[in-house]
Structure 1
Amino acid sequence: MKTTVSTTNTMTYYFKVFKYTGSNKPLADAEFELTQNGNKIKFVLDSTKDGMYKVYRKATQEEIEANKATDKLITDSDGKIKICGIFGEYKLEETKAPKGYNKLVSPYTIKVSDGGFVTVNNEKPSHNDVKVKNESGSLLPSTGGMGTTLIYLIGGVLVLGSGVVLMNKKRAKAK
């Protein structure tokens, strides 16, 4: 009796991250984390490079237990990383920006669907690339809001009140 040999194909998908400045200058040493349903995903740095991309693949349970996995994804000198072995919806959050640059204010929502189609914040990027633009300088605090509105109102009331007092004094002097 002979058994039939069957083969299964397991599809793994990926997306690429490109960290750059406004002038398309690549930024090295930016750190990212990828989470799914609030849980950090662990990765292993693949020793090979895929073209110009530093490759991270999703870690196996054995690699996680042997402390060979990391949850930090760090861009190379070309500002690029390739994240492999994923499927579903994730949050890509920048945890550390390169020196002199601001980190992202909010994480990107990334969906990897059947066929390897990738959407970023519900928009389809070209060639599965996730482009992360950063600016240098410091982040300015937000201005305005309820505090300044109250100050303007109180100031206006004081000006009107002092005008009324001044008018009453002039009338009293005139009598």
Structure 2
Amino acid sequence: MQALAGKSLTITYKATLTNNATPDTAIGNTATLNIGNGTDITSTPANGPKIYTGGAQFVKKDSQSNKTLAGAKFQLVKVDSNGNIVSYATQASDGSYTWNDSATGATTYTSDTNGLVALKGLSYSDKLDSGESYALLEIQAPDGYAKLDSPVKFSITKGSFADSNKITIDNTKEGLLPSTGGKGIYIFLAIGIVIMIVAFGGYKAIKKT
């Protein structure tokens, strides 16, 4: 210790924001150091930069009736500029996240009776790697609805967790739109075949006359 006399001592620490952290609310960044070597010294440095955590809220709805939908299951992912999944999020009980390149162990979020899914404790999007975005990947649609084909991108910014900024995610009932991945394409194919048969029959009748 004598060799360090007169020199600066730098102490670094890592802190994790828990579920108690409110999105978009400034959180004080202070630390207290207690040194005991016969004469106790207590030091509390001046407040450091304020820390913020972000979030977003999503509402799952029927695309036709606007009814909220419960039971939709999602995973939180990061995607690249082409929409390809880069990593999957696993959220611990204290609210912290870890990111992995596999869906194994990824946390599942389910829309509640009001169709709501709320995510908190996320860094703002400008802190992500270049070209990456947050997205919700639907892994199971509500009963009777077609699952979305691709992840839904979103941004985390200051204020994005506010009720006024809720993001609506629509689902279409199976059999209505083939583009959603439902069974509706078979209905359109059947109708097309019937039209072709009728048209061909009409053509033959005209040809005979």
TM-score category, normalised to shorter length: 0.5 to 0.7
Please give the root-mean-square deviation of Cα atoms over the aligned residues, in Å: 3.3
Identity of matched residues, %: 25
Structure with greater contact order relative to length (CA < 8 Å, sep ≥ 6): 1
Partner-residue secondary structure (3-state), 1:141: helix
In structure 1, how many angstroms separate the alpha carbons of the residues matched to 2:147 and 2:108? Answer: 15
**Number of equivalenced pairs:** 121
Match of 2:74 in 1: 32
TM-score (structure 1 length as normaliser) = 0.56
> In the alignment, is residue 17 of structure 1 matched against residue 58 of structure 2?
yes
Q: What is the SS of the residue equivalent to 1:41?
A: strand
Q: Is the counterpart of residue 100 in structure 1 residue 136 in structure 2?
A: no
Structure with the largest fraction of helix: 1
CA deviation vs aligned residue, 1:100-154 (integer Å, no higher than 9, x gap): 01111221111213x2448xxxxxx98221101112123233989xxxxxxxxxx
The gaps in structure 2 that reach 5 residues or longer are 1-40, 80-85, 100-104, 126-132, 176-181, 190-209
Alpha-carbon distance between aligned partners in 2 of 1:85 and 1:14, rounded to the nearest angstrom = 6
Cα distance 1:41–1:137, how it changes in 2: closer, same or farther (>3 A)? same
Residues 60 and 108 of structure 1: CA distance in aligned 2, closer, same or farther (over 3 Å):
closer
Task: Indicate the residue corresponding to 2:166 in structure 1.
Answer: 129
Structure 2 match to 1:5: 45
Q: 1:45 to 1:136 in 2, by over 3 A?
A: farther
1 or 2, which has the higher strand percentage? 1
The normalised TM-score by structure 2 is 0.48
